[in-house]
Structure 1
Amino acid sequence: MNYATTAHDAVPSRSVDGRTARWANHREERRAELVHAARRAVHRLGPDVPMEEIAAAASTSKSVFYRYFRDKAGLQTAMGELALAQMQERIAEAAAAAQTPEDGLIAMVSAYLGMAARSRNVYEFVTRAGAAEPAADEAFGSFFHAVGAMIEAPMRRHLDPAASATLAYWPTAAIGLVRAAGERWLREPDSPSKPSLEDMSGLIADWLFAGIAAQAAPETRTATLSTEEIS
């Protein structure tokens, strides 16, 4: 289906009256509209939906999408950035209220799994292998790096100062564990034995924190062992 290019998608003539900034703002607003429309289309039609159908769902043409995103990979990246921004906002709120490093980890994992579970179609679209994979991986890597930075300071209070430099490796390890375990959880059919989102978030957070706790300061390890022996 072909659509005529609408006025707000037309290429403007060279500005001679100071309207350049307003046009740039308008273009960003239009780009955001297209990302949200594409997200709704992918959620409804699936991750394999062709660009023609995405454009039709947005009541525009494929050429308009390519004008704003260059190609489908560019649209995948833009949708991934939107999902990440939403997750980071939720995590920042949770991190501010977190009382312990474990709370911060659970908030991170819960936001990630929650986004994926709300729309598996959108999640697969923005993370699947293909032309957009390097960009998607870079975006998700930056996300986990940001999350790691949020909880690095409280984590350091529990670590042996001689080994705390290795905490910098944690975000890289976390992205692999969370994505692998989370995607396995998403693929599992619903059953009484399948963990809930809350339980799965807690499990993954436990695994992540256990790896960090191996480098805990001696007094922290002793306290942990004593607690385990009593319980």
Structure 2
Amino acid sequence: MNTAQPGHPAPPPATSPGGTTATIDGRSARWETHREQRRRELIKATRRAIHHLGADASMEDIAANAGTSKSVFYRYFGDKAGLQQAVGKVVIGQMQDTILAAGKTARTPREGLVNMVTAYLQMAETSPNVYTFVTAPGDASPQPTGELSGFFDAVTAMISDPLRDLLGGTESPLLGYWPTAAIGLVRTTGELWLKTPPSPAKPDHLAMAEQISTWLFDGVRRQVTAAASPNLSLQVEGIS
């Protein structure tokens, strides 16, 4: 089809390195750019909606809050699970980058752990509804989203490197166990902390990060021994 305008001859077709003619469809390229931009806008709108409405907001509620129809969301994301995955990819990616950057500023392995746990809790606390939305199991699967699984795998790798020497070097079997156990403690404790209603007794994210790190590095015995009477200290020693 000749798409040239009067007085403006059509440009010659592009030629690939192999000598074959490749048709460049400018309209398709513009449409893909527009579609990707629209997806980003809808993801941002979803984050705002979930932040205000809660993690259980329906597609209809999310669309209404975004000022559009739910058919638009279905067109771009397929279903709610697809929307959850798309939002999760953005949110979890940002968390991973922030946690990695926080770990790099540390001077010691313990400080690195404190920094990373602090960053994790702080970002989750910024919008608990959004965190819950992207980490909740999908309708078709009882497991967390793939993005979340990859996120914790990446964080496990982050904390393995600085702790390699402390855990006995690269040949130590403990190198594979401790970081995995640490991630389990951080995640379960952090999510319980997020769900705990505000009160004077609830620690802030900095205090919670320090406490989690103390449990991981020092265990319970040292913390109890330091705060207890000599008699209690002896009892703790006796059961260790």
TM-score by length of 2: 0.72
Please identify runs of 4+ aligned residues in structure 1 that moved more than 4 A: 132-135
Offset of residue 163 of structure 1: 5.5
Task: List alignment gaps of at least 5 residues for structure 2.
Answer: 1-22, 220-240
Please show how residues 76-225 of structure 1 align to structure 2 within 5 Å: 76-131=84-139, 136-161=144-169, 164-210=172-218
Distance 1:101 1:174, change over 3 A: same
Q: Which protein shows a greater Rg?
A: 2
Query: 2 CA distance for matches of 1:46 and 1:159?
Result: 41
Conserved? CA contact 2:55–2:129, under 8 Å: yes
SS in 2 for 1:159: coil
Query: 2 CA distance for matches of 1:105 and 1:78?
Result: 28
Offset of residue 18 of structure 1: 3.6
Provide the alpha-carbon RMSD of the alignment: 2.4
Offset from partner CA, 1:78-109 (integer Å, 9 cap, x none): 22222211112212221221111112212222
Query: 1 CA distance for matches of 2:181 and 2:140?
Result: 22
Alignment pair present for 1:51 and 2:59: yes
TM-score by length of 1: 0.75
Residue identity over aligned pairs, in percent, reads 56
SS in 1 for 2:125: helix
Conserved? CA contact 1:141–1:172, under 8 Å: no
Conserved? CA contact 2:118–2:209, under 8 Å: yes
* Higher RCO (Cα < 8 Å, 6 or more apart): 1
| Structure in which a larger fraction of residues adopt helix | 1
Offset from partner CA, 1:102-121 (integer Å, 9 cap, x none): 12212222222112211122
Offset of residue 203 of structure 1: 1.3
Aligned length: 197
Conserved? CA contact 2:137–2:145, under 8 Å: no
- Residue 80 of structure 2 is matched in structure 1 by 72
Which one-letter code corresponds to 1:200 in the other structure?
A: M
